[in-house]
Amino acid sequence: MTMLGFEPLFRDLYRLTQPWGNPVGTAARPAVMPMDVWRDGDTFIVELDVPGVYPDSIEVTADQGALTVRAERPYVGDEGHDWVAAERPHGVFSRQLLLGDQLDTDHIGASYTDGVLRLTVPVAEAAKPRKVAITTGREQKAIA
């Protein structure tokens, strides 16, 4: 279920796609990483599928309101084989998300476990709801 269209603080900017049946991503045309995004209180959680990717090849950057994730899975097949099927994706993977200005890009967290990259993006303190104090200082006068 795509929920990004309903959340103004966190919208999908774009995704670069490959034609169906082409699991190879190149630097000029990266393959897309499937993702889920949800809000848990004051934090957005983003999970991207990047199975078989070496953790050292994953790069996450936040710059000018955009969060970019890039990873590479090298081709490890043997050219000498008579392949029957080669469907596992390899090459460059990329995903870019437009972050609203009410998110705290200085405190984004990232972890990689079992082929899933998990990002935590907190809502900025200034964007969190807060109560406004009401003062009463004027005397009430009856209108004659």
What does the DSSP assignment read for 60-116? EEEETTEEEEEEEE-----TTS--S---S-EEEEEEEEEEPTTB-GGG-EEEEETTE
Q: Does 137 reside within a domain?
A: no
- With a cut of 70, say whether residue 97 has pLDDT above it: yes
pLDDT score of 138 more than 80:
no
Q: What is the DSSP letter of 128?
A: S
CATH number at residue 36: 2.60.40.790
Residue 133 domain flag: no
pLDDT of amino acid 24: 57
Query: In this predicted model, what pLDDT tens digit does every residue of 33-80 receive, in sequence order?
Result: 889 999 999 999 999 999 889 999 999 999 988 899 999 988 877 777
Residues 10-40 pLDDT 10s: 444 333 333 334 455 665 566 778 899 999 9
Give the structural domain span for 33.
25-77+89-126
Number of separate domains in the chain: 1
Report d(CA 73, CA 93) in Å as an integer.
8
Look at residue 111 in the predicted model and tell me its pLDDT: 97
Task: State the pLDDT confidence band at 143, using cuts at 50, 70 and 90.
Answer: low
